[in-house]
Copies of this chain bind each other. A is one copy, B any other.
């Protein structure tokens, strides 16, 4: 049920792989290359949401500051569902957090939503989170 349009699924999957590779290079322009101006981010740390591409850009230095010199940002599992002009991806991801006492793996959940704009798949929303521990 997850491949409505196989060609579109492959295109979206390729964009996600390029985006994750840009994160691993700390290439902020590469990370933002296919993102919409009115992009909405729900990130692991506060705030509750960041709206607009500039606010999204500003989330990345915090992540790089909490990551090793060569950031880990691995796609563990990825399912893409794509129609002709709307798509989404559900992923389990792994990164590494640097803390005062060392580093530890951090598994997180990622949902990405896409819309085709002027014929090009465009990231319009990302939701990154970890389960709440309280």
A46 at the interface (CB under 8 A from B): yes
Chain B residues contacting A81 (CB-CB under 8 Å) are 86, 113, 115, 124
Q: Quick one: which of A101-130 are within 8 Å of B by CB?
A: 107, 109, 111, 113, 115, 117, 124-125, 127, 129-130
Taking a contact as CB atoms under 8 Å apart, the answer to whether B125 and A111 are in contact is: yes
- How many chain A residues touch B (CB < 8 A): the figure is 38
Residue A11 at the B interface, CB < 8 A?
A: no
Q: Does A43 contact B (CB under 8 A)?
A: yes
The answer to whether A109 touches B1, judged by C-beta atoms less than 8 angstroms apart, is no
* A48 adjacent to B133 (CB under 8 Å): no
Report B-chain residues with C-beta under 8 Å of the C-beta of A4: 85-86, 115
**Using Cβ atoms and an 8 Å threshold, which residues of chain B touch A130?**
129, 132
Report B-chain residues with C-beta under 8 Å of the C-beta of A124: 1, 81
Could you say which residues of chain B place their CB within 8 Å of the CB of A132?
44-45, 129-130, 132
Which residues A1-17 have CB closer than 8 A to chain B?
1, 4
Q: Among the listed stretches A18-26, A27-35, A67-75, A87-95, which one makes contact with chain B, having 4 or more residues with CB under 8 Å of it?
A: A87-95
A-B contact pairs, 5 of them (CB 8 A): A4-B85, A40-B79, A127-B127, A129-B130, A130-B132
